[in-house]
Each structure stands twice: as C-alpha cells, then as structure tokens.
Amino acid sequence: GVDIDGMMAELFGRASGTCGGKGGSQHIADLRKGMLGANGIVAAGAPITCGAALSAKLLGTGQVAVAFAGDGAMNEGVMSESFNLAKIWMLPIIFVIEDNGFGEATANAHVSAGSFTRRAESYDIPAIEVDGTDLFSVYAAAGEAVERARSGGGPTMLHVHVPRYYGHYSGDPDTYRTPEEKAAMRRERDCLSNFCKRVKEVSLVETAELDAVDAAVEAEIDRAVSAARAAPFPSLAALTTDVYVKYL
C-alpha cells in the first residue's frame, strides 16, 4: 500500500521519498501505512515486529504484525528470542521466513542444522511449509495465520520456499550456481508465470486482461522512476532533522 512515487523517490535518495530521502533502500519505511521499515542488520526486524504486535494487543486494534526474514536470519540468536517473546506474550504476529537456499553466497545446507519449522514448533508456535511460487498456497497459509493471530491464538511461522532469480545484490557475480540451474529456475519457478498459467487454464482471467495489467504497471513504474530522477535531493538543513540529540 505504500505510494509508488514516495517509495521510488526514497530509493533514489530524494527529498520527496517516504523518509525524506534519508532511509534509502536499506531502511525505507512508511509509518503511515504501518510499514516500520526495512533493516540492514540480519534478523533485527523480528524483535521490532514483536513490539508492534505487543502494541496492537495492548491497544486492542485488531492489527497483525508481520516480520519478514530470510533463511540466514534463522541462525541469529535474536530470532529465537523473538519466537520466545511472541509465544510467551501470545502476540498477534506472523514470522515469514523467505527461504531461497542461500545466505548471501553461502548455501543453507552448509550453515543451518535441523528444520526451521521444528525450531518454531519447539516454542509451541505453529509452523507451515509453503511453496512461495504458488500464490494460492501462500494466500491460504497467510489467511490461516492472520485468523489465528486476530482470534488470540498467538504467533505463526510461515516457512516460504522461494527461488533466488538473481544474485544477492546488484553486481553479485552469482557464481555459486550453474547457468543451467538459474535458467531452469526462471523458466519453471516464476510465481507470476505460474499464476498466469493457472488462472488461464481455468478461465478466471483472459490473456488480454493480464497483458493490460502488465502494461499499466510497467508504465506506472517508468513514470515513478522519471519523477524520482527529477526530484531534488534533501537540503543541507535536513541533515540535523529526524535525529535524536542529547545535550550534556
């Protein structure tokens, strides 16, 4: 729900961005939409999300907090601490672990022992394995988790298996996988392609309608990029705003 123009401007570090151009891609946020922000520290978003969930519970807002993390984050101690807090306080929270099999360039098999779902279950947190390329499976699993959270049933972990279509970062040489593996992944495990195929097979949506959506989205993104490139950078005066200062 974040405004496309504000988000794109933030990625370009412009004053019209959701964080005034000072958050960038690593710390982009939009508190007006309930998006507390990305985090450059692995797994650091999990305890922040616990705080958001605790606020929702105490205020009785009916909101559900969602923490997104990767498979690499599961080996950070703060994830275990967050699982424990979430269960002890029976928080309305969903932990979504987007598992693409790699933590940066290291294969998960080299660094992660045991099962992620069993780790959650050891805290008595229900855990669901989900194929992240199947929109309908993700929708159903997320709906179950949201219902549990809102009805007072506490936290859920979704272990979502997703492919990594490209490298970990822009410019990643991505030599830890073969060209054949990557080609097969993009050909067979693209969630959008699989979605389009399924809805067309059962005549839910026509090809022309999907093509129209693609064209409209592409035009909207192109427009937002052009607007971001033309927007001004933050002024020098903004350097000392949005910070906490303690005078001794």
Write the pLDDT tens digit of every residue in 201-218: 999 999 999 999 999 999
What stretches in the chain show pLDDT beneath 50? none
pLDDT of residue 108: 92
Predicted pLDDT of residue 37: 87
What's the pLDDT at 57?
97
Residue 136 CA to residue 62 CA, distance in Å, equals 24
- Cα of first residue to Cα of last residue in the chain, in angstroms, is 41
Confidence (pLDDT) at 71: 95
Question: Looking at domain 41-166, what is its CATH homologous superfamily?
Answer: Thiamin diphosphate (ThDP)-binding fold, Pyr/PP domains (3.40.50.970)
β-pair type (106-107, 127-131): unpaired
**Which residues, in sequence order, are CB contacts of 201 under 8 Å at separation 6+?**
none
What's the pLDDT score for residue 52?
97
Confidence (pLDDT) at 79: 97
Q: In this predicted structure, what is the pLDDT of residue 98? A: 97
Distances in Å between the Cα of 204 and the Cα atoms of 68, 170, 209, 213, 215 are: 30, 36, 10, 15, 19
Rounded to whole angstroms, the Cα distance separating 53 from 64 reads 6
| 160 contacts 97 by C-beta, under 8 angstroms | yes
What pLDDT score was predicted for residue 248? 64
Q: What pLDDT digit, counting tens, does each position of 9-28 carry?
A: 999 999 999 999 999 988 99
The sign of the CA dihedral 46, 52, 57, 61 is negative
In the chain, what are the domain boundaries?
A: 1-38, 41-166, 190-226
